[in-house]
Amino acid sequence: MEIVLLRPEIPHNTGCAARLAAATGLRLHLVEPLGFSLADRYLKRAGLDYWPLVELRLHATWEAACAALADGSERPLDERLHLFTARGGASLFATGFAPDDVLVFGGESAGLPAELLARHADRRVYVPIRAGVRSLNLANVVCLGVYTALVRSGSALPANDGRYEAHARAGHDERPLERVRGSVGPG
């Protein structure tokens, strides 16, 4: 399973997604433009000392991210996408997931691009909320979406009985920018 943030704007939310990626062992993809620098101290603070555990990919465009996500998979990317939006689709809790799915979340102010949602209308997922509430915080939706998708796909959750033991790589003073791999290019 893959986590994709398309044009995230707030460093704290992206840092929370990175911490979630570290906790679950899932790869985190960021698609530019970003609303912050990967050297941002707030981003580092939100990810705490878990950045060494994050497999981070940075993509200059959505097309570059799609090419990287499609590479090596048996299923077509179009069948693996789940586009999280506050604007319709299927409820997260009525959606089926597979272990190789790609969970895509849009930026805080604009969400996912309308053309992407229109092109993949049958892949839209929403979290039910009360009328009159515009949306949930991105970090909350990413966390809720990831854990729900893991459980519904039958994927193994991290083996942990609630005790904490520091990971050997955690705690090193590593910045998010040092974790980047992927299709970085102009943009």
Confidence of residue 105 (pLDDT cuts 50, 70, 90): very high
pLDDT of residue 174 exceeding 80, the answer is no
Q: Could you tell me the pTM of the whole model?
A: 0.88
Average pLDDT over residues 108-134: 95
Confidence of residue 181 (pLDDT cuts 50, 70, 90): low
Per-residue confidence (pLDDT) for residue 129, from 0 to 100: 94
Average pLDDT over residues 20-42: 90
Confidence of residue 187 (pLDDT cuts 50, 70, 90): very low
Domain ranges for the chain, please list them.
Answer: 2-155+168-181
Dist. CA 38–CA 83, nearest whole Å: 24
Per-residue confidence (pLDDT) for residue 37, from 0 to 100: 84
pLDDT of residue 50 exceeding 90, the answer is no
Average pLDDT over residues 121-126: 97
Considering the four listed CATH numbers 1.20.950.20, 3.40.640.10, 3.40.1280.10, 1.10.287.610, the one that applies to the domain covering 2-155+168-181 is: 3.40.1280.10
**Percent share of the chain, pLDDT over 70:** 85
Confidence of residue 164 (pLDDT cuts 50, 70, 90): confident
Strands 90-91 and 81-84: unpaired
**Percent share of the chain, pLDDT over 90:** 67
